[in-house]
Amino acid sequence: MKTRAHENTELWLNNDQGFNDILINAVEQAVYMEITKGQAIVDIIQRLPDLTPDGERWMFETIQDLVEENYKEQLQYS
């Protein structure tokens, strides 16, 4: 079952241009082996505000899943 915080994390990172750019840029650095996937996750978390615009906390596990999903997708097309 997805929590509200999980859904908010997914919503904002996938649909807000600024937050999505943070995600995609960090994953791209991992794909090109400039940083590890773990460092990409840390970088994303550090660049996000404390809470989502809806006032929910960012979910680490969701960010981790989105990094993995986008990593596989970018790797496939690079």
Instruction: Encode pLDDT of 53-78 as tens digits.
Output: 999 999 999 999 999 999 999 988 87
What pLDDT score was predicted for residue 76?
Answer: 87
What pLDDT score was predicted for residue 78?
Answer: 73
- The size of the chain, in residues, is 78
Query: Which residue stretches of 1-78 are H helix?
Result: 4-15, 17-31, 37-47, 60-77
Q: How many domains does the chain have?
A: 1
Question: 33: domain range?
Answer: 4-77
Q: Is the pLDDT of residue 36 over 80?
A: yes
Q: Is the pLDDT of residue 17 over 80?
A: yes
